[in-house]
Amino acid sequence: MYASQWVLKKLKELLGDAGNNTKEIESIFKKYPDDFSLQSVSTMFTDYSNKPAKAKLDSMHSKIDEIINTRKFESSGGTRLWFGDRRKRGSQTTR
């Protein structure tokens, strides 16, 4: 299961104050083990936790923004919709 954009936005907020929200941030990462994009952010967070730096934090924010934008694009239409094709299939006759 993939993390929704709302979960990703919440994660971004929590990263703003990462020192106080470490357990909550880690719980989000554990909740979505199959989300490989999110797990790459988890790796970045572990690296950041070991040696905090503003550049690493900015990199995590950029990666989360990239994931959000990619998922919005992928779910907006076409053949790669997460929940199947949302377009109505009316009669196949043309006028």
Looking at per-residue pLDDT, the higher value among 76 and 34 belongs to: 34
- pLDDT at residue 36 in the model: 92
72 pLDDT tier (thresholds 50, 70, 90) = confident
Q: Could you write out the DSSP letters of every residue in 43-54? A: HHHHHHHHS--H
| pTM of structure | 0.73
Euclidean distance between CA atoms 12 and 64, whole angstroms: 7
What would the mean pLDDT of 62-84 be, rounded to a whole number?
74
Q: What is the mean pLDDT of the chain?
A: 83
Residue 93 pLDDT more than 70? no
Residue 11: name the closest of 73, 78, 95, 30 by CA: 30
Euclidean distance between CA atoms 73 and 71, whole angstroms: 5
Q: Could you write out the DSSP letters of every residue in 8-64? A: HHHHHHHHHTTTT-HHHHHHHHHH-TT-HHHHHHHHHHHHHHHS--HHHHHHHHHHH
